[in-house]
Structure formats: structure tokens, C-alpha cells
Structure 1
Amino acid sequence: METKEPDPVTLRMLSVPHLKTFLRPYPINLLKHRLHFRGRSCYALPTILISGLLMWLLLSHVDLITRFMSVKSLSLLQRFRDCDVRRRLPSCIIIGTPKSGTKALIEFIGAHPNVEIAQGEAKFFNRNDNYYKGYEHYLKKMPLSCANQITVEKSPEYFYSRVAPYRIYKMNHSIKLIIIVKDPVQRAISDYIHRRIMFPGRRETNFTFEELVYDNVTKNVRSQYLPVVRSIYYRYMLNWLTYFAPHQIHVADGNKLIVEPEEELSKVQDFLGLERLITQDSFVYNSTKGYYCLWTRESTHCLAPCKGHKNHSISTELVDKLNTYFKPYNELFFNIINKRLSWS
């Protein structure tokens, strides 16, 4: 029976472990066979041997190479060597809160070699139009990861959703959740700025924060104003504790993440069962931007210009009134999570 000569594509896919088996039926033809690519050609056997040798050298000296590469570059090498690469459902979700540092948190923890983060916001569990597309749709939004890595997704709007806790529990009842919160007064102001910039048609465009948050006639805080409503954390936390045990939820301090990111990241790494590889040396302060950026051997990574808006100033009198308004709600929140935060 005549043996069919292998095509160029098959030859290019060969690696060293397969050569002995593959060469046996073609001791002569392979020596004469030439590979063709973009109008150029070369003999197949020397090309395969050299390519295989280079790949073997590369994979057998991973530890040495890592000294000159970032941790994320290392993960690419590991995948080719001993990793079952595929998209996996997240084992941790950052569920909130908006305007509290969720973007910074996921970017920082994503620098860990045993973490892969989803890009953007999936908005899967809080939106019916996405949820009813099924888990296959959700899985497509997840990154490629190894079996020993943690996939993390971030969608801050989950925190306010009535249905998200149940839906996430249904997917994985043992999942880990992270909530990052900041001083409710600062969060409300940041929310106002965000709405003013991103949604020109809303009333934030025509009114100041002071006008929207405080009624000068009744001398009361406008409790129905959405940035105020969403800064009363305990109301929403109760819904999550209906489905998840307290040890499954880590509450990060958004105010402390700004000034001492290494401390907050150490707590997150402990919560996820990770080695503390993101340390104080992983951050560098950017005086122009006014916050810390992530530093690697390759570059310094800062958040996009649209992130980290500086809060505009408001009167001390109004700040005091808002602090007084939020204080009892903050105490309820601290009692629920069984700890106090820096802005308490």
C-alpha cells in the first residue's frame, strides 16, 4: 500500500516527541520534501529539527527565562508546557460597588500569575437579555486560563440587583465574592460626576451636586436621589447574605486602596488563597495622576484617563450633613460585615 506524503501544514505542526514515530514511514521523502510559505521554501527535516530543538530549550528553561519576563508572559509559557487551557466560569466575582475602585482592584489582582481576569463587564446575572442567552454566552466573555488559575470577573451593578445573588448561587454556591466600598459621601459625589460626564441628557448636566442632594426648603438630604440611595450599603448587603455565608464575601476598603494599595491587595490575595506576590514593590505613585499605578519589570500600568476622577469640592457644612445622614446606615453595615473600615 502506497503511503501518502504529508502536506506542508502537517509538517509545520510537528514537535520533537513525534519525530521518531513520524519519520519511520518516510525516511527518504521527508529529506526531499520542502516546506512552502509565502513564496519561500526550505527543506522540511532541518526546519523541523531546529524548531523542535528551540522549543525544547525554551520549555526546559522556563525558570531562568522568568527572571527576564513579566509574570503574565510566564503564564503563556506554562500553557504550552503543562496547562489545560480553556475558558472557565469564574471562581471569584467582584460584585460592586460602582465608583469605589472596582476597576483598579481587578487590574491590580490581575497582575498575579495565578489569576486571569475578564475584560470589561459581563453584566450577565443582572440583565435578563444576557442571562437568558445561557452560560455559553457568559463563558465566551471569560479569559483563557489554566486549571490552577483563578478566573475573576467584575460587574459592579450586580451589587444592586435583586436577582443576581440567586443566579450566581445557582451557578456556583461556593463561589467567592468581593465587594469594594468607599466613604458613601465620596461615592455619591463620584457617582454624580460619572452621570454628569457619561449621560449628558440627565439632570446632572443642569444641576450641581448640592442642588440634587440637598433640599434647602425642607433642610433635608434628598434620600431618593439615586447616588444617595446606592451609597446605603447595608440594604443591598442583606440580599447577598441571604444566599452566601459571610466567609464567602470579602469587603475591601476603597478609600484605603487609594492610599495603601499593597495592604488591600494582601487581604484579597489571602482571601483567594494566593501567595502574596503583589507587594509594596508592585506599586509606584504617579504624582501627576494622584494615585498609585501598577509597576512591572516591563512598564508602569495606570488606569485609563476616564478613571480616578477627582471629586469636586463641596461645602464643609454639606459634608457634615451627609455624614450625619449616612452614619446610622454605616453602623448597620459594619455590624453586618463584622468589621469597621478606614472611613468609619
Structure 2
Amino acid sequence: MDTVSSFTLPTDVDTNRTFYTTKTEALPPDVDTNLTVYIKAKFGNTCYKEESFFHWWTNYYLTDDLLVENKTGCRRSISNVYVAGTKKCATTSLRDLLAIHPYIMYSHTTEGEIHFYDRHFDEGYEWYRRQFDFSKEWQVVMERTPLTFSFPEDAPRKMAELNPQTKLVVIFCDPVIRAISDYLHEKETESYKTFNPPYYRINDESFELSVFKPSGAVDIDNELIKKGIYSTQVKRWLEYFPRTQIHVLDGNDFNQDPVSEINKIETFLGLPHFLRRTHLDFSQQLFCIAFPKVRCPNKKLKGRPHPDIPDKVLHKLYEFYQPYDSELQHLLNRTFSWMGKSST
């Protein structure tokens, strides 16, 4: 395996730059119940006007015409908090709940996820930096590209060279259920067809025909399967980032009690706790954000009904993942909620 020292940085990287520090001071009173106070905390003394909130809330997007006139202390900086995965394990919901924290700076690019480490790395550091909005030193700059944790294989060393202080947030979920969700997503969106070579193999007839070879063996080279081999991915990231900079969630725990899981991340980031249960509406199948304003999941993209999969198919897949799950358990000294299903 190559070492970090063998990796050649893009020539436009400023290796002497500094990265933002985490703001640990207390939040103002009533910030979690009063919209006016919240907006002041979120956008007051930032690089954007307070009225930017309403534009930002609509689509997580900020434009230069929303910048304040006095931009003292403002700069573009790459993320120091990276939601790196895992695809189809509720990373969008995780992102949405983190983004509302008053001290976290998050916004979309025009294309959504940046995909710097897999699609745009050759465009250089300055291109990457321009994908972020202006921020001040006390703001935590967050990015989300779930593909990064598993692809490309050299993403950890690239990120370690660009910003070794990055804190990674990763959410794992049942790898079999994840594969089914990923199959449905790719079958509907057909985004897998843009990759060359084709990392996904999607058979429109059924999930089973997609994940098994004609011989009956699990297709380990199919991205539907490979993305659920979490231990391999974790080992790769631990080569370049200390365990203390990686926070791992169990997707089931997050779905059951998102507030507690977000509070743990706030602690991990050194931020005062903000999210409360009253900020969420649990009356629907997928919870909605109720404060500072209402935001619900896109039902066309989230919560797709899963097809009935034969028990023998599920059992075979859980058996396949079992040794990798055991390795993950050893690496992280933690048992995840789906582990042991192969024996049931």
C-alpha cells in the first residue's frame, strides 16, 4: 500500500494554510425555540446577511448577492467536517439535522454533492475551495458526499494530504437492506450508467439476479455488495486518520433516536448541544424537521418500498457479510444492530 508521503499534492495547494477552530461557547437563550434568535445565531456576524436564512432554508444554497458588505474575516475554506458515508444509510437525514446547528456552515453547490475526491480531483485545490461559500473562523464547515467512504480507494490519503485535521462522520446500516435500497435507487435513477467502467451491475428483473453470479456465488465485485463491506473501508481510512477523528453511527440507532445520535456528534465536534426532540415531527413514516422551519424528506427519493426478497437469499447475503461484520466489530470494538442475522 502506498504511503501518504508518496502522494503528490496538486501544485495549487497552500500547505501553510490554517483550518477553522471549533466554537465551543454556549448558544444564546431561546435559540432553540425562537426563530428570530435562531437566525441571528445562524447568520448574524457571518459573511451573509441575516435574511439569507430564508433563501438558504429553501435549497441549502447561498449566492454572492447575499454577502455582507464588510467581509472582514471571511474566506472560502474546504470542509473540516466531512459526512463521508455510507450511501443509502440515511446520510441525507443526518446531513439535514447537522446543518441546522447554528455554528455549522453547510450549503449545496449547484450540482449538490461536490465529489472532489472521485470526479474532480484533477481540477485542483482552488477549484475545490471555490465550491464552498464564505465562512468565518468560528464556523464549522461541513460537506457531504457519501460515496467518498468507499470510493475511490485513494480518497483517504488525498483527504489526509489536503486537510489532516478533517473530522469524519460515517453512518453504517444493515448491509443487506442497504444493498436492496441501493438497487432500487440505481434502477430508478440509472446513475450507475454514467460510470466507466461499470462498478454497478443492475439487472432490471430482480435484486437477486443483480447480486448473484450465474454460479450462485455472491458478486463481490458488484458495488451493490462491495459498499456493504464496511471493514475494508474502515481499515483504509484508519491508515490515514486516527480513530479519534472518525465518528461512526449505527443507522438503526439513528432512526430510532436521531436526537441522541446528533447530540453525540455535537460532542464529537466540540459544539454545544442544539437539537431537541421538539425540533422534529415523528408523526409520519419518515420524520420531518419542525424547527427552525419545516423540512420533510422527498418521498419520491426516500423510503421506497422494498420488494419481497426470499428468505434464502437474505440468509445467503447475511452469511456472506458475517466475516466482514466480525472484522468491523473487532476494528471498532462495537457490535452493530444487524449483526447476528445470519444465524436467525
Amino acid at match of 2:104: V
CA contact (8 A) 1:88 1:145 kept: yes
Determine which of 57, 63, 67 is the counterpart of 2:34. Answer: 67
| Percent of aligned positions that are identical | 27
Number of aligned residue pairs: 277
Checking the alignment, whether the CA contact within 8 Å between 2:81 and 2:140 is kept in structure 1 is yes
Partner of 1:154: 144
Between 130-139 and 199-208, report the one with greater CA deviation: 199-208
* 1:248-296 CA distance string (max 9 Å, x none): 1111122222222112111111111111111222211142xx1112121
- The change in CA–CA distance for 1:222 and 1:171 in structure 2 (over 3 A counts) is closer
**Correspondence for 1:322:** 317
CA RMSD of aligned residues (A): 2.6
Instruction: Go from structure 1 to structure 2 and tell me whether the alpha carbon gap of 1:71 and 1:204 turns closer, same or farther (over 3 Å shift).
Output: same
Q: Judging changes above 3 Å, is the alpha-carbon distance between structure 1 residues 291 and 116 closer, same or farther for their aligned structure 2 residues?
A: same
Deviation at 1:91, TM superposition (A): 0.9
Indicate the structure whose relative CO is greater, using CA pairs within 8 Å and at least 6 residues apart.
Answer: 2
| Aligned residue among 106, 113, 137 for 2:95 | 106
Query: Following the alignment from structure 1 to structure 2, what is the Cα–Cα distance between the partners of residues 173 and 182?
Result: 26
- The residue that corresponds to 2:209 in the other structure is 211
Match of 2:135 in 1: 145
Deviations 1:171-211 (A, max 9, x none): 11121111111100011111111110011868635320022
Equivalent residues of 1:72, 1:111 under 8 A apart? no
Q: In 2 relative to 1, CA 205–245 (structure 1 residues): closer, same or farther, beyond 3 Å? A: same
Q: Which has the higher strand share?
A: 1
Distance 2:282 2:37 in 1: 20
Structure 2 unmatched ranges of 5 or more = 1-27, 47-67, 194-199, 340-344
Aligned to 2:114: 122
The residue aligned with 1:86 is: 75
C-alpha separation in 1, matches of 2:210 and 2:326? 25
Say if 2:175 is the partner of 1:181: no
**TM-score, length-scaled by structure 2:** 0.73
SS at match of 1:132: helix
Rate the CA distance shift 1:143–1:313 in 2: closer, same or farther, 3 A.
Answer: farther
Q: Is the 8 A contact 2:201 2:222 kept in 1?
A: no
CA contact 1:252–1:264 (8 Å) conserved in 2: yes
Change (3 A) 1:189 1:143: same
**Contact in 2 for aligned 1:269/1:276 (Cα 8 Å):** yes
Shift of 1:84: 3.0
Aligned to 1:293: 288
TM-score under structure 1 normalisation?
0.73
Unpaired segments of 5 or more residues in structure 1? 1-61
Question: For 1:143 and 1:137, how far apart are their aligned partners in 2?
Answer: 12
The 8 Å contact of residues 279 and 291 in structure 2, kept in 1 or not, is answered as: yes
- Name the amino acid aligned to 1:242: E
TM-superposed deviation, 1:82: 10
Task: Determine the C-alpha separation between the residues in 2 that align with 1:308 and 1:148.
Answer: 36
The structure number with the bigger radius of gyration is 1
Residues 281 and 240 from structure 1, CA distance in 2 versus in 1: closer, same or farther, beyond 3 angstroms? same
Are 2:203 and 2:209, in contact at CA under 8 Å, matched by a contact in 1? Answer: no
Deviates more, 1:219-228 or 1:168-177: 219-228
Secondary structure, counterpart of 2:149 in structure 1: helix
Contact 1:253–1:342 under 8 Å retained in 2: yes
Q: Is the 8 A contact 1:126 1:163 kept in 2?
A: no
> Which structure has more helix as a fraction of its residues?
1
Q: C-alpha distance in 1, partners of 2:201/2:291?
A: 42
